[in-house]
């Protein structure tokens, strides 16, 4: 790897410390780059509340778990109001890390816990490096956690402005929101390229003012964790099996839409008689609002009242290694997001295991699902629409088998790495052939994507 261009990936958190789509895809991309023969380095932020024992007096950048080319950025002074790192040692150490590593490309995957000022610092320290930012959400546009959901009535926000943002945060003046926008735009002006995981994201940032020539659409990296031994037995039993098992995977927070699922199940119990089950896999309930936490806990406590028609099981958090087992228990994956979901890694997981997704018709997820071809869309936030979709999934003969057979799977990680290399402007080294899982006879796997098909669109 010595002769290969050096690429530094800077991520919010490490996926082994905090589960989340942005950090998982950043890490998958790093691993894929290493496998492709690129000289790749991974630097992930960490805050004291996540792993206090990892923090040492005076240390800012440390190794991670003895792994080659993986480091932690110990961020103990991130200022959330202006997204700055107010610890001068953090700035100094980050600059020294850049000088020591001498990357040709610095690919940031967030600025939370890292700092907008680190963008400016990277440009000053590395004037000739290529700086790239993946747009994993809309935090640059929206102070409300980047979700663009109105805080007063939870409606979707179409466009940010100083006055509209002031309405969500009455204690902050419109003038301060204008200053916030100016600061974010200044920090982002140093980038040579921006990567949007979906065209929906590209269009939203284009309308915000990012230059069209710098915006590229490249899908997120996701390794395929499925395997033939798991898929074939399941696909062979679909003719006799009633596909009535639904699964939710993801963060247990308001905007992921689990509350809509609860409402839909309560309506279902009053309307239909066909039994269904729901498996919930997820964590980070502590990041949800108090209202949602109460709703989640009360619903699980009262779920017995819905049996035997509806059975609900909470399995807790999960790792990527748990996916085959948990996917084997279900037929459908629910993605009920009530915000402008960017990409939804769980959608990729559903496709790789040929579990047809049931998805809100919103944002990037609504764009990724072909309704009635490889998944089903329902009206975002509409419990009645979801209830009716549940019933269709359970009762329409042949629906599940047809949608599962049309699953696009996930693109090979090396193809995604090559598409990123095109954005970086660096050559893709020759990689060892990747052994693809053989396709089950009942439903052929998606063909390996052609290299040219993975090239970024601008």
pLDDT value of position 452: 34
Question: What is the per-residue pLDDT across 329-351, written as a single tens digit (0 to 9) for each?
Answer: 999 999 999 999 999 999 999 99
Q: How far, in Å, are 45, 48, 51, 89 from residue 75 at the CA level? A: 6, 8, 11, 10
Select from 185, 208, 456, 219 the least CA-distant residue to 342.
219
Comparing 154-158, 210-214, 234-238, which segment has the lowest mean pLDDT?
Answer: 234-238
Q: Could you confirm whether domain 6-217 is CATH 3.40.50.2000?
A: yes
Is a pLDDT exceeding 60 seen at residue 456? no
Q: Contact 387/264 with Cβ under 8 angstroms?
A: yes
- 296 φ/ψ angles, rounded to the nearest 5 degrees: -60, -50
Select from 145, 43, 33, 149 the least CA-distant residue to 90.
43
Q: How far, in Å, are 30, 104, 174, 259 from residue 184 at the CA level? A: 26, 24, 15, 33
pLDDT value of position 234: 46
CA atoms within 13 A on the CB side of 302: 9
CA distance 245 to 394: 9
DSSP secondary structure, 248-259, as one string: EEEE-SGGG-HH
The CA radius of gyration of the chain, in Å to the nearest whole number, is 22
| Domain residue spans of the chain | 6-217, 228-405
DSSP letter, residue 169: S
Length of the chain: 458
CATH superfamily label, 228-405: Glycogen Phosphorylase B; (3.40.50.2000)
Question: What is the per-residue pLDDT across 167-209, written as a single tens digit (0 to 9) for each?
Answer: 999 999 999 999 999 999 999 999 999 999 999 999 999 999 9
DSSP letter, residue 14: -
Over residues 282-305, the mean pLDDT reads 92
Compute how many other C-beta atoms are within 10 angstroms of the C-beta atom of residue 269: 16
DSSP secondary structure, 353-420, as one string: TT--EEEES-HHHHHH--BTTTBEEE-TT-HHHHHHHHHHHHHSTTHHHHHHHT------HHHHHHHH
Select from 48, 110, 97 the least CA-distant residue to 74.
48
Listed in sequence order, the residues at least 6 apart from 395 whose beta carbon sits closer than 8 Å to its beta carbon are 274
CA distance 225 to 325: 11
Question: What is the per-residue pLDDT across 266-279, written as a single tens digit (0 to 9) for each?
Answer: 999 999 999 999 99
Task: Note the pTM of the prediction, 2 decimals.
Answer: 0.87
Identify which has the larger pLDDT, 458 or 165: 165
Q: Do domains 6-217 and 228-405 have the same CATH topology?
A: yes
Q: Contact 358/278 with Cβ under 8 angstroms?
A: no
């Amino acid at each position: 790897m010595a002769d290969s261009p050096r690429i530094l990936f800077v991520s919010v958190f490490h996926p082994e410390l905090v589960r989340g789509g942005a950090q998982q895809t950043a890490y998958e991309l790093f691993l894929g780059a290493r496998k492709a023969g690129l000289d790749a380095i991974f630097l992930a932020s960490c805050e004291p509340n996540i792993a206090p024992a990892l923090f040492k007096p005076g240390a800012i950048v440390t190794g991670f778990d003895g792994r080659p080319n993986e480091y932690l950025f110990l961020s103990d002074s991130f200022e959330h109001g202006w997204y700055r790192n107010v610890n001068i040692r953090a700035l100094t150490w980050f600059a020294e890390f850049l000088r020591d590593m001498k990357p040709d490309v610095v690919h940031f995957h967030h600025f939370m816990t890292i700092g907008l000022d680190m963008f400016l610092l990277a440009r000053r320290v590395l004037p000739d490096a290529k700086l790239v930012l993946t747009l994993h959400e809309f935090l640059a546009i929206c102070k409300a956690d980047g979700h663009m959901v109105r805080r007063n009535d939870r409606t979707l926000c179409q466009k940010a402005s100083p006055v509209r943002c002031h309405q969500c945060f009455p204690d902050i003046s419109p003038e301060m929101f204008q200053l916030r926008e100016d600061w974010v735009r200044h920090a982002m002006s140093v980038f040579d390229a921006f990567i949007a995981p979906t065209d929906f994201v590209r269009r939203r940032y284009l309308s915000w003012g990012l230059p069209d020539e710098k915006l590229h659409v490249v899908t997120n990296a996701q390794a395929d964790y499925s395997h033939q031994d798991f898929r074939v037995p399941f696909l062979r039993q679909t003719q006799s099996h009633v596909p009535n098992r639904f699964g939710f995977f993801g963060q247990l927070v308001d905007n992921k839409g689990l509350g809509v699922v609860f409402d839909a199940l309560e309506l279902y119990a009053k309307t239909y008689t066909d039994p269904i089950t729901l498996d919930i896999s997820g964590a980070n309930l502590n990041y949800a609002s108090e209202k949602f936490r109460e709703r989640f806990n009360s619903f699980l406590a009262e779920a017995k009242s819905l049996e035997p028609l509806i059975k609900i099981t909470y399995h807790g958090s999960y790792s990527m290694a748990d996916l085959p087992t948990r996917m084997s228990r279900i037929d459908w994956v629910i993605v009920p997001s009530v915000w402008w979901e960017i990409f939804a890694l769980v959608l990729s997981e559903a496709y790789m295991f040929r579990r047809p997704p049931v998805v809100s018709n919103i944002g990037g997820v609504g764009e990724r699902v072909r309704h009635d071809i490889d998944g089903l869309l329902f009206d975002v936030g509409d419990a009645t629409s979801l209830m009716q979709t549940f019933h269709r999934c359970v009762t329409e003969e042949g629906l599940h088998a047809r949608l599962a057979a049309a699953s696009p799977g996930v693109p090979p990680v090396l193809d995604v790495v090559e598409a990123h290399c095109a954005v970086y402007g660096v050559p893709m080294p020759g990689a060892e052939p990747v052994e693809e899982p053989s396709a089950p006879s009942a439903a052929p796997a998606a063909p390996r994507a052609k290299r040219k098909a993975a090239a970024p669109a601008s």
